[in-house]
Amino acid sequence: SIAVNYTLSENVASATISFAIGGMVVGTQLTDLTRGSHTVELSGTEIGLTDGNYMVSITAVDFAGNVAMVSNANWRYDTTIPIITLSKPATNGVDNQSIAINCTASEALSSMMLVFSSGGMQVHTIVCGVGTTTVTGSGLTHNATYTVQIVGTDTAGNRGSSTIVSNWRYDNEVDTPTLRLYDQISGSETVTISAIVRTLIDAATDTVGWWLSEQSAAPDENSLLWVTTKSAVFQLSNGNGTKTVYLWVKDIAGNVSQSGTAGIMLDTTQDNTLPTVNLITPATNGADNVSIKVSYYLSEPCQGGTLTFGTAVTVTGSLTGQYGTNTITLDGSNLGLINGQTYTVSLSMADMNGNRATSTNTNWTYDIEMAIPSFYLMNKITGSRMYTHTPRVDVSVKEHSEAIGWLMSETLGIPTEEAAVNAKPFEFTLSPGDGTKTVYLWARDMAGNVSLPATANIILNSNMDVIPPVVNLISPASNGVDNESIQVIYTISEDITTLSLTFTRTGGVGTVNGSHSYSLGTTSLTAGQHETVLAGNGLGLQHGAVYTVSLKATDAFRNSGQGVSTNWRYDISIATPTLTLNNGAGYTRTRQVSVSVNNDSEAIGWLIGTATGKPTDDDSRWLAEEPTTFDLGTADGTVSVYLWTKDAVGNISATATASIVLDTVPATMTLTMPTVDNQSIAVAYQFS
């Protein structure tokens, strides 16, 4: 429905509106011809418009014959309903008061509205602006389940609806959790001698986030500080005295609870228990380079830490004493450690009441040097260490007792410890272009030291290639057989330029000799194994003929190699079997009849039934054994039975047919005789 507004400066004799697109013009006469402004509704369907952008023009002719025309460009006629996809709210999803919206539309929309239904009835709507990402759930019922749909209108006024999201739940409440605090050793809920206390939390079953703090301000739903697992312990702030801890939980819908609270008195002056100190790294039997990673676990906040290497080197001030795992990195060059020396490493820590514990690791080695590796490059086929005709070369690396990581490149630089993580290289691909290639190899040891680079050179000369490609024809296979769909499987040792498959008749059925060749194109010419399927009917092959099959490959330097299979047979048909029921009888009184099949020596499968239509190779009704009986069914009358056979390559025979009359109802007879008769007795009888 097109609204047209136009103004005439005087009365006119005629006025026409036209719509032009792609060289085609359609239009209609306007009926309001008097001076002034006019509005008319036109039907785009009646005018003959199709969706698209038009040049719209109005032409008016006054009574003196003067012509005026005004045009509007790029006006769009649109009758297509927008396609809308709603991904949030989601099926089986849940949201709280802040409902996330995520939808896409096939075109720009001018308005959107969320529609919520329950029990098949629309119960609530929320108008949302185009591009809105969240709306409030006011008007929805807590814990109620809805179906949700978004309705959108495009700029032309076409209205479309998204698919319906089902089983979406509105949840804007979460129960307040409970919190209890305990001393780790005594279990007391009133006094703790350690800043690390055990927690007991009871919260709603759909809780997905926990927040423990001594600050009373409620956390934001989207804060990154929420933890996703229930905390078993909590660390109180420094200083003896009464501590109040607040607990908030967040459910799957994002609702944040009111806080649960618990209080406990911290008095570390009563603490006479040693802290648990566990030195993780430097590790027993481990090694580090100049960058020494020190990692350790503390069961409670500690202070006064000392780290000792052997009997001479001690580190103090840089050690942290936080509860849990602590990690720092030391510069070994500042510690006076000796390269290659093995040390016993001890960490000593005291808790806040002065109780001190020690953890020790033995046989740790300080190692800041790495021996340069040794390697060479060689041609993959000839084994030459000086020349190669292909970019891909073999790599031989001398055994290196320290190396656990490797990095190989034609670019000289200083690799990071993290870069040298590859396994020992056995081959390498040189950069394009002939010439001398220099390749660098770095090794990394357990301590993280990266060696200086080893170098190896080789000359790449692609023009010196005189080695034919190695071709292995896997299928068609020698002494094999295929039907019309011929599977071709082969491997080639190098990239090649041409590849042809040739079938040469050597015997079997048929009289036409000669060869038939097929080019395998350009998609399967790279080194490696390839597979494809050819249609035999396009190659001129004869059914029953035996062929020698050769696959010839030619590389860029005209070196040729081939793979050959012999005594391969092409088989695209199977003989039509014969079918006999009950030894050829025309009638039977029983549903179960005997079956005799002949002319099926090639068959490995049989399919018998009363339905017509040639079966497929994967039909589930195929039998692995020749049938000897068949059930005709329950209906009396002439029953036609059909039989097919298939051979080992999947050929299916023509249909064999046999018919028999099933008659399971005995005949009835009526006999009429006179009551008294003389020597000549008249007998009357009738069969059904």
Q: What's the token pair of residue 540? A: 């001129």
Give the pLDDT of residue 565. 93
pLDDT tens track for 516-552: 888 877 667 888 999 998 888 888 888 889 999 999 9
Strands (DSSP E) found in 78-206: 84-88, 94-95, 98-100, 102-105, 109-118, 121-128, 134-136, 144-154, 159-161, 165-170, 178-183, 191-192, 196-202
Write out the DSSP string of 322-357: -SEEEEEEEEGGGTT--TT-EEEEEEEEEETTS-EE
Give the pLDDT of residue 292. 93
What is the rounded distance in angstroms from the CA atom of residue 171 to the CA atom of residue 150?
Answer: 20
Residue 508 and residue 494 in contact, taking contact as beta carbons nearer than 8 Å = no
- The more confident residue out of 181 and 558 is 181
- In this model, does residue 254 exceed pLDDT 70? yes
What is the rounded distance in angstroms from the CA atom of residue 603 to the CA atom of residue 592?
Answer: 24
Q: What percent of the chain has pLDDT over 90?
A: 51
Give the pLDDT of residue 339. 92
What is the rounded distance in angstroms from the CA atom of residue 645 to the CA atom of residue 612?
Answer: 14
- The more confident residue out of 423 and 201 is 201
How far, in whole angstroms, is CA 87 from its chain's centroid? 19
**pLDDT (mean) for 118-138:** 86
Write out the DSSP string of 420-446: --BPPPSEEEPPSSSEEEEEEEEEEET
Give the pLDDT of residue 522. 67
Q: What's the token pair of residue 100? A: 């996330």
What is the rounded distance in angstroms from the CA atom of residue 290 to the CA atom of residue 339?
Answer: 9
Give the pLDDT of residue 620. 92
Contacts of 555 (CB under 8 A, 6+ apart): 465, 468, 469, 494, 495, 496, 497
Residues in the chain: 688
Q: What's the token pair of residue 169? A: 């739940």
Give the pLDDT of residue 265. 95
How many other CB atoms sit within 10 Å of the CB of residue 414?
9
Query: Residue written as tokens 């185009």?
Result: 130
Q: Model confidence at 217, in pLDDT bands (50, 70, 90)? A: very high
- In this model, does residue 203 exceed pLDDT 90? no
Residue 127 and residue 111 in contact, taking contact as beta carbons nearer than 8 Å = yes
Give the pLDDT of residue 180. 95
- In this model, does residue 466 exceed pLDDT 80? no
91: left (phi over 0), alpha (psi -120 to 50) or beta: beta
Q: What's the token pair of residue 370? A: 């790495």
Contacts of 466 (CB under 8 A, 6+ apart): 557, 559
Q: What is the pTM of this model?
A: 0.48
Contacts 24+ apart (CB under 8 A), 303-308: 303/349, 303/350, 303/351, 303/352, 304/349, 304/350, 304/356, 305/347, 305/348, 305/349, 305/350, 306/347, 306/348, 307/345, 307/346, 307/347, 307/348, 308/345, 308/346, 308/347, 308/348
pLDDT tens track for 259-292: 999 999 999 888 899 999 999 999 999 999 999 9
Residue 47 has φ and ψ, to the nearest 5°, of -70, -30
What is the rounded distance in angstroms from the CA atom of residue 33 to the CA atom of residue 13?
Answer: 7
Q: Which amino acid is at 211?
A: W
Q: What percent of the chain has pLDDT over 70?
A: 99
Q: Model confidence at 44, in pLDDT bands (50, 70, 90)? A: confident
Average pLDDT score, the chain: 89
Instruction: Show the domains of the chain with their CATH numbers.
Output: 2-77 (2.60.40), 84-170 (2.60.40.10), 178-270 (2.60.40.10), 277-365 (2.60.40), 375-464 (2.60.40), 471-570 (2.60.40.2150), 578-662 (2.60.40.10)
**pLDDT (mean) for 400-412:** 92
pLDDT tens track for 23-40: 888 888 888 889 999 888
Give the pLDDT of residue 677. 67
Residue 332 and residue 319 in contact, taking contact as beta carbons nearer than 8 Å = no
- In this model, does residue 181 exceed pLDDT 90? yes
Where would I find the H helices in 555-621? Answer: none
How many other CB atoms sit within 10 Å of the CB of residue 179?
20
What is the rounded distance in angstroms from the CA atom of residue 419 to the CA atom of residue 4?
Answer: 70
What is the rounded distance in angstroms from the CA atom of residue 656 to the CA atom of residue 641?
Answer: 8
